[in-house]
Amino acid sequence: MRKFFTAVVVVPLGLIFIIFAVANRHWVTVSFDPFNSVTPTIAVTLPLFVVIIASAILGVIAGGMATWFKQGRWRRAARQHEADARHIRAELADLRAAGSRDDAQRRPTAAQLGFYGPNGRDKQGATL
């Protein structure tokens, strides 16, 4: 399955990135100084494809973090429900174990039941 994923998704995506990088090799200056655009104090000169791919990667990371934080209460609720279910399963197992011990003590013997069972009737419901 991993090889299939690589062949179908990663290889074409890599080819698209390479073609994009070759087509956008121009150098651009990214300025972080909003007051002086002619001679900025903080500026970086990079190829255009690096700027675009880096901003796409940062956007994906920011979106993933926002989604992760937004879904926090649902993950917390799922953990709480899982803990409750685990607790209830353990309690049920304890009750079943206690019930089987009590049931074995309360179960009447064959001599107490008589010939026709606990109701005094045969399979068709007739009595003697």
Record the pTM. 0.56
Long-range (24+ apart) CB contacts under 8 A made by 38-47 are 47/21
**One pLDDT digit (tens) per residue for the chain, 128 residues:** 788 878 888 888 889 888 988 888 889 988 888 888 788 888 899 999 899 889 999 999 999 999 999 999 999 999 999 999 999 999 999 998 888 776 666 665 655 555 555 566 666 666 65
Question: Given this model, what pLDDT does residue 115 score?
Answer: 58
